[in-house]
Amino acid sequence: MNNKIFVFCFLALYNFTVNTNAQIIEREIPKEWNGLVEGGRFMDLFLPIPIQSPLSKDAWGAENVIPRDVNNGIEDSEWSYWGGNIKVSEDGKYHLFVARWKEDSPKGHGEWPQSHVVQSVSENSIGPYKVKNEIGPGHNPEIFRLSDGRYVIYVIDGYYMSQNINGPWDKHSFDFDSRDRPVIEGLSNLTFAQREDGSYLMICRGGGVWFSKTGISPYYQVSQGSVYPPVDGRFEDPVVWRDHIQYHMIVNDWYGRIAYYLRSKDGINWKVDPGMAYKTGIAVYEDGTQVDWFKYERIKILQDKLGRAIQANFAVIDVLKNEDKGNDNHSSKNISIPLLPSRHIQILNKKDINSETQKIKIKILAEEGFDPHQDINFNSLRFGASEEVDFGRGSKLIEIQEIGADVILTFEGTGNGLTQENFVAKLLGRTNEGKILFGYARLPGIDYLEPALSAQKPVFTKVKGGYDVSVEVENFGQVASKQAEIKIEFIRKNISIEIAKGTVPPLNSFEKSNEIFHIDKEIETGVEYTVKVTTLQNDRELVIFRQEIFLN
């Protein structure tokens, strides 16, 4: 049964973030990060910013952001801007949907709850962006497009929708079904990525994983807890995107001032890569001038036709948020920073790659602006698991073959480091100009579209001779499942007792089934148990449900 969950606690959480006494903590950087080579961190992918106009010394802002290019992103003296991402229209123009409020508002930056979303347009991705239309009230916007071509602009506590990127826009509300799972930090600051079948993945502020069949139909929570890194962080600003290889996510721990980069095969199970995703000081112009914004928040990603990240946009402010007062010299804006795109790579091996593999063949495809024959420093290349190549290790190149505009490279199998924990391999090296060259490739023998059978909390009914237990199972994968196993266990005092076991029939994507079992085992009542529901297909665990229950 669907239950509508509204945004809660957001104002309290936000106000906590601007408390100067709780602004940051000096978090110790993991020692192993010191061994990363250049190109091993997402932060290494930020490129120098093209200068659109002469750097200005007359713009608003503290000394740390002067001089700067006022035509990068969007800014002016009348409005404070925050958040937003870019979509490219069919005519090739760039549309940045961003929140703003009057700079001279008495509350200064604290006026953000009264912000409005506007559509701004530029001839190029960097800017300048000029406001074209006002959409309506809202904050932290993120625009995405449905399979039927309609545009959706998410804002806190709702969304706008239009048939055309230029409007008109109608306001709507999402439906959320937590499916007996705790909603982590409320449903705010949501971020979205379209899956291969047109359905949508959503990550909420607290790191919960949700799915919707259409993008505007109800969102269902699948994760039990946060998928963020296991640190005592204060996470916000997640951004998720999918390219032709995998899912990507960046989330910021504002408390520890560390942003993390994660990758996933399916959007459910996430792998945290070492190294910072970004930090202050990444805004550097092509002439070497650095703009030292005090805070970088609300990162959003501009993607190319393959879904690859080619630009990051940030909301930035020059001082602490509570020091930005109305009608002063401080404010906020949206900035654009180009990213180094990954190269288009394919693995040619047909069999699984592991420690026994003798040779690995990959193809690097030529693209506009990239000639693999001329641009690659072949002696610099390493290939294999990211855990290896990000630290300067991996398989070594032993053969180069030119195939038309592309190249086929053969690497030694030894040193690849690939295990069952890896769902992609990584290439890392240099161009002949000394710049980073990298790319990911899908591995042979791995199913990238799989069923994801997810159970809700079992319902226990006292009957003669024991209990009847019913459990609803739904497939949130993108392909139909085969008949699967399901088992229900009670866990108490670290002892697990299997109380029911059976099968789940084949289910299409977003199809559900209600399974009923009879328990005639003697079970102690009046105590609290942890109930665990596991679905398995071909002996592989799919999605596990765990929760405490009190059995009467």
Which residues, 6+ apart, have CB-to-CB distance to 34 below 8 Å? none
Pairwise CA distance, residues 286 & 289, whole Å: 7
Q: pLDDT at position 23, please?
A: 56
Cα angle at 131 between 126 and 137, to 5 degrees? 115
The first and second tokens of residue 157, run together, are: 């506590």
Q: pLDDT at position 465, please?
A: 79
DSSP assignment of 447-459 equals -SS---EEE---E
Q: pLDDT at position 256, please?
A: 76
Chain position carrying tokens 């209600």: 514
Pairwise CA distance, residues 216 & 214, whole Å: 6
The structural domains of the chain, ordered by start, are 10-338 (2.115.10.20), 345-442 (2.60.40), 453-551 (2.60.40.10)
Q: For residue range 132-142, what is the model confidence (pLDDT) as tens digits?
A: 999 999 999 99
Q: pLDDT at position 539, please?
A: 73
Q: Judge residue 254's burial from the number of C-beta atoms within 10 Å of its C-beta, 0-12 exposed, 13-18 middle, 19 or more buried.
A: buried
Q: Is there a contact between 385 and 426 (Cβ–Cβ < 8 Å)?
A: yes
* Nearest by Cα to 185 from 226, 232, 145: 226
Kindly provide the residue ranges of all beta strands, DSSP E only, lying in 339-403, ordered along the sequence.
Answer: 345-347, 359-364, 376-384, 395-403
DSSP assignment of 243-279 equals -SS-EEEEEEETTTTEEEEEEESSSSSEEEESS-S--
Q: pLDDT at position 24, please?
A: 64
Q: pLDDT at position 16, please?
A: 36
pTM score, whole prediction: 0.93
Q: For the chain, which ranges sit under pLDDT 50?
A: 1-21
- The torsion angles phi and psi of 109, rounded to 5 degrees, stand at -60, -25
